[in-house]
Amino acid sequence: MKALEEKIIKEGQVVSDSILKVGSFLNQQLDPIFMHEMGKEIYSLFKDCGVTKVLTIEASGIAIALAAAYYFHTPAVFAKKSKSSNVAHDVLTANVKSFTRNTTYEICVSSEYITKDDTVLIVDDFLASGNALNGLIEIVESAGAKVAGISVAIEKGFQGGGDELRGRGIRLESLAIIEEMSEGNIVFRR
């Protein structure tokens, strides 16, 4: 997605070899109009796949999932990172290793929101090692539902998680794939 690549070049900050800061439009601060453009693009990529739910993980995946779900006319569901007193006891869970925090945490979704009749599109803002997405796939499969595919805004191609998912035959559509980056230099995959 050309407009996303341009926004990354214009507003992104390469903090280290592996961390790209896009807090000005994709997390912390959200650009709602641009979020909708990305949602529409995701819809156009998966519109023929019978998607019944868009699934993401809190917190920064929520905005892009909501924007995509708006065009699919389906609910967006987000996995929570820990059990709260508001989540029902009947939950689907998976363990995820955090890349930025270097910890392992449990994600969960109430089983009433993903069922065996669902065809689920998994959406997130970032794809690095793919740990969060693998947790979401595990949740969809444990519900007996079907994974329609995965779409992320920004894939850090050099961290390998995306290609590992593609290697497993999962349809993954990233709106922008960064092949390499360093201060002042971001190269996209063609």
CB-CB contact of 175 with 42 (8 Å): yes
Two tokens, residue 9? 């070049």
185 binds a second copy (CB under 8 A): no
CB-CB contact of 152 with 125 (8 Å): yes
- Of 4-12, 84-92, 130-138, 152-160, the segment contacting a second copy by CB under 8 A is 84-92
- Whichever of 112 and 168 has its CB closer to a second copy, that residue is 112
Two tokens, residue 89? 């006891």
Considering only 1, 11, 14, 21, the residue that binds a second copy (CB under 8 A) is 21
Neighbouring-strand partners of residue 97: 104
Residues 91 and 79: their CA atoms lie apart, in Å, by: 10
Rounded to a whole number of angstroms, the minimum distance from the CB of residue 150 to a second copy is 19
23 binds a second copy (CB under 8 A): yes
- Of 28-36, 43-51, 115-123, 175-183, the segment contacting a second copy by CB under 8 A is 28-36
86 binds a second copy (CB under 8 A): yes
Two tokens, residue 156? 């850090």
Sorted by sequence, the CB contacts under 8 Å of residue 7 that are 6+ apart come out as: 22, 25, 34
- Whichever of 37 and 163 has its CB closer to a second copy, that residue is 37
Question: 3-class DSSP state for residue 129?
Answer: coil
Which residues sit at the interface with a second copy, rule CB under 8 A? 15, 19, 21, 23-25, 27-33, 35-36, 58-59, 62-63, 65-67, 69-70, 73-78, 80, 84-88, 100-101, 109-110, 112-113
